[in-house]
Amino acid sequence: MKRIGRIPGFAVTTLVAAMALSGPSQAGVTDQDILNDQATTEDVVSNGLGLRGQRYSPLTKVNGDTVQELRPVWAFSFGGEKQRGQESQPMVKDGVMYVTASYSRVFAIDVATGDELWEYNARLPDGIMPCCDVINRGVALYDDLVIFGTLDAKLVALDKDSGKVVWKKTIEDYKAGYSISAAPIVVNGKVITGVSGGEFGIVGKVEAYDAKTGDILWSRPTVEGHMGYVWKDGKKTEAGISGGQPGQTWPGDLWKSGGAATWLGGTYDPDTNLLFFGTGNPAPWNSHMRPGDNLFSSSRLAINPDNGEIVWHFQTTPHDGWDFDGVNELISFDYEDGGKTVKAAASADRNGFFYVLNRENGDFIRGFPFVDKITWAEGLDDKGRPILIEAGRPGNPADAKEGNKGQSVFSAPSFLGGKNWMPMAYSQDTGLFYVPSNEWAMDIWNEPVSYKKGAAYLGAGFTIKPLNEDYIGVLRAMDPKTGKEVWRYENYAPLWGGVLATKGGLVFTGTPEGYLMAFDAKTGEQKYKFNTGSGIVGSPITWEQDGEQYVSVVSGWGGAVPLWGGEVAKRVKHLNQGGTVWTFKLPKSAEVASR
């Protein structure tokens, strides 16, 4: 068992579990609960604290005056030898926390005591092929179900009270390189998921399943040329080819193994009834093998959740030759311009540019660098398309005079990106985005490669390098209307965890050094710092229970940096692995004393 206070907690845990299995349970999560998640404070029932993904809470008890009184109340260990990276965002409903851990595990924890209620272990096969650690980013909650994806590309629904499997669906063949690491989302009774595996030449896609039964409803490939499908009454029918026809922006048959994995999951905007999913790199990395824009790779897609239709797309890195992907979250927000409300959406791309789009039609509004150094493009044109620096693209191996290695180039950002998976936050109070970013570069070169099912499909080599001696990570407060950086916090190691903003005027995030930190949302002044004992690469949450405000974050160093980090890995080689949910709260006494 993996619980704090094991002996005294045993009777409580057993009683809670027995009540859950034999007596009436709390009401399940509804579509309305999910849609209202950002506005409600007593639970967290969506990834991103709201389907728009703003990661903003209206809670104010923990603020600049009281945050120093934030106290740890329990720490729950995932235990065993299965540690590695812990990138999960917990969910909380009716006093129970649901959180995923490395190696496709799910835990239910009693928030009042920190006791384990149940654990589900996916028992993965030996042949899984995750590119970037054995992480999982969280569950979706719906009705009485806890739904998550596994590293062997399955979607699993568990009973929220017992942890027993209610339904399980195979999404794709893990032997071909497919996996699932993202948290699914639920929109109008449909559980929506993407797939991982872009380094293996898979074909990205977004799919919808009936959340209660697991029956597939529609499938939309994210590589031009592949057929989409819808299912009605169990009957499968064609729903049109993505992009209209094959071969428009791909040479030959390369679209058949084109990548564009949807590995980070998506957001949803109820105003427009659109899903927003990002797509990963085209395959292979060697761009000289695939002249053209290679749609719909390295793009943001707006998808109709009712049938999977691609309504609009915006490609951030056409003909990507640096593995910049385009998966980073697209966050819906409104702002005023000339007395009119602009329905916008923003994304900080791995390529180093921050984009503001019209979320109704995908039109480019503005874009600007959010990192200090970009070498592959000199800017964006009036449509948001990058103005390339031709010498910034890795050379063609076919032009090599000796051997089969193309001309190496020094490129910034590195392929791990100005911002990678770690989600940013948006404050409705300051109008700022809080972006976890990194200042690093790479030497990158191309090599010949051919597709083989289940084998790495890169055609490139690289070495990552820090750009500064004293920091790599930078937490930035960015103004989406002006492109200006309002404040920054510099961190020695790369930042790899998510961000939370609150109406209490605080911004929370974690560092690889193990610190949970809070900053003043307007000024960037550090207000709180607590060492969790292992690097934080998860995303913090906050909620209110019994009149007290809680904050939780998962601690456990890992993810892509130590696996792909080159010279950067030297800065983090001493960091210890871990796997612990840390939960804090502001006691009522501290709240009263601050008044």
The residues annotated with a catalytic role in the active site are 323
Rounded to whole angstroms, the Cα distance separating 295 from 308 reads: 17
Please give the structure tokens belonging to residue 256.
């058949």
- Tokens 């080819």 locate to 241
Rounded to whole angstroms, the Cα distance separating 72 from 67 reads: 12
Task: Classify strands 56-57 and 499-502 as parallel, antiparallel or unpaired.
Answer: parallel
Rounded (10°) CA dihedral 343, 91, 582, 129: -90
The answer to whether the beta carbons of residues 75 and 580 sit under 8 Å apart is: yes
DSSP state of 292: S
Amino acid symbol at 262 = T
Tell whether the torsion through CA atoms of 352, 510, 89 and 435 is positive or negative.
negative
- Any residues with CB less than 8 A from the CB of 371 and at least 6 apart, and which? 352, 412, 413, 418, 437, 438, 439, 474
Helix H or strand E segment including 531: strand 526-531
Q: Edge-to-edge strands of the sheet including 105-110?
A: 91-93, 96-101, 105-110, 116-121
DSSP state of 487: E
Rounded to whole angstroms, the Cα distance separating 261 from 275 reads: 16
